[in-house]
Structure formats: structure tokens, C-alpha cells
Chain A
Amino acid sequence: MTETLTEARFIELADAYGAVVARWPEAVRADAMAMATRPAMQAVLVEAERLDTRLDLWTVEAPSAALRDRVISSHRTPLSRRARLWWSGIGIATALAGAVAGSVAASAALPSDHAVSDDATAFGDLSQQDS
């Protein structure tokens, strides 16, 4: 859609987007550049530029190398890849081996009478250890 650029509209655009015409709506940029040669419109741009320059004083630090590396690393181990590994033979074998080892460890840790209190943990019964 084309937009007819009037001086009033030029002032509105400078008021909203500032003095850099590249930030203005694409449809009016060419006309705006031509209109910017008029002394009255130049004054409008100078005024807008004063605010732009002031806003540019607020700069922020660039990302650290550590942050950049963390962000890149976060792509190397996407969830989908972890999921694929899980369903692979290695994942299943690892899970089975873990389950067997866990069963052995659990049976070895259980007391002979299997009386498990509320204070029982993986490291034994805390209520019995206190005494």
C-alpha cells in the first residue's frame, strides 16, 4: 500500500520513529528522503536527532564468551537426541543394568526383618542410627 507523504505526516513520522529514515515505514522512505531536503523538514529531523543521540548514550555490555558457549552447548544436547539415546540399545542395556544393580543393592541394604520405619532412607534407618 502506498502512502502519500505530506509535511504533516513527515512530522508525525519523525515524532514516532526519530530522525533515522531507515526506521520509518518502508512505503514512505523514498519520499521522505526527498522531502528531507526542505529546510523546515530538516529542522524537524534535527530536533528528532537530538533525542536519538541522547537515547544512544544508553549502551549495554556485549555477551560474555562464557554465555555464548553455554548457549551454543545448549543446542548440542537437545532433548530429542537424549530421547533417541534412551531408546537405543545402549540406553535399554544401561537401564537394565542399573535396575539389576539397584535390586541387589536394595536387598543387601534391607534389614533381615524388613521392618522399615518412617525414618528409613537409602542409607539405613535414621531413627536407629541416632542411638
Chain B
Amino acid sequence: MSADDPDAGLVARIGRGDEVATRMFVGAKLPRILALARRMLGDAAEAEDVAQETFLRAWKQAARWQPGAARFDTWLHTVTLNLCRDRLRRRQETVMPELPEVVDPQPPADAMVDEAAQAGAVQRAIDALPERQREALLLVHYQDLTNIAAADAMEISVEALESLLSRGRRSLRATFAARDTRDD
């Protein structure tokens, strides 16, 4: 048993059908899992589908979970990553129609436009990274997984994770520097 798995007790209770534990677990994990899926897929509806599927699998897994080397949170991230990868792969195999642009009836204030534009630029820069670099960055920076948990979730070594992170961040620095020079 992984004695330092903070979710072990909660997962055992969920496996026994404890509704209070389920609510606590969803409250703690859903925002993280949805955020990862949202950033991986860039689509709110698809991200919700992935989050729901991830939790359905969690309910089944909880009943037979044998705490070991991996934490349950890491397992959840692995499932989410795999579900997102499947969807991204399917997208590449299909020609996606261009989505209509959503028009906001109320023009937002300048500050909001600027903030949204900057967030959009970050999203585009991360989307442009190679798949494994993007995943490593999402897991460590946005999901706050430890290096060991992130490497486990991606099924790679810690050294490989570190290399992906370094290359990803270096690439992002270059992208942002070029953008800032262009905007000045």
C-alpha cells in the first residue's frame, strides 16, 4: 500500500458505496481533471465528456483498487491523458469542419480583451508544442503533479520528463520573445 497516498482512505470508502466520500472526491478532483482535459482538447464539451468517462472508470476502479506504488490521483491523470490522446488521434483521422466563431453580444472592456488575448496566445503556444512536451508541461505546471507522479502518468522516466519540460519551456520562451518583439 502506498502509505503516503492521501486519497487511499477516500477511495476505499467510495469502493464501499459511501456517497459522502464520493462527493468529497468529486469536489476535490473534478476541477483538476476537467482542467487537464480542457487544456489537452481545447474544447469544453469534449472535456466534460472525458471528465465524466474518467470518473465512471474511477468508480469501477475504486471497488477493486489495490494501493501500491502509484497514487490514485496519478492513475486518474493517466486515464484522462489516454482518453484525451484517443480523441486527439481521432481528430487527426477526420477532417474537422471549421467551427463558427462565437460572437459576444456585449463588447468586453479593453482590459478583458487584453487578458483574453494573452491567455489565447499562451494556449496557442502550448498547443503548438510537440505532444509529449505539452503533456509534461500541463502535468507539472498546471496540474502541479510531482516529477515522479507526472513521469508515472506519462509512463516515462523522470529524466525523460525533465528533458521534455526543458525543451518545452525553452520553446515557449522563444515563442513569447518573438511575439513581444513583434508587438513592440
A residues with a Cβ closer than 8 A to B are: 12, 15-18, 23-26, 51-52, 54-55, 57-63, 67-68, 70-72, 74-76, 78-81
Residue B55 lies at the interface, judged by CB distance under 8 Å to chain A: yes
Verify A72–B22 contact, CB threshold 8 A.
yes
CB-CB < 8 A to A52: which residues of B? 141
In the complex, which residue of chain B has the Cβ closest to the Cβ of A22?
B144
Q: Chain A CB within 10 Å — which of B140, B142, B169 has the most? A: B169
Shortest C-beta distance, B104 to chain A (Å), equals 15
A106 to B46, CA, bound (A): 43
Shortest C-beta distance, B32 to chain A (Å), equals 10
In the complex, which residue of chain A has the Cβ closest to the Cβ of B63?
A80
Partner of B30, one of A57, A68, A79: A68
What are 23 A-B interface contacts by the 8 Å CB criterion? A51-B176, A54-B176, A55-B141, A58-B39, A58-B119, A58-B123, A58-B126, A58-B142, A60-B38, A60-B39, A61-B44, A63-B30, A67-B52, A68-B26, A71-B26, A71-B30, A71-B51, A72-B22, A74-B55, A74-B56, A75-B22, A78-B60, A78-B63
Partner of B51, one of A12, A16, A57, A67: A67
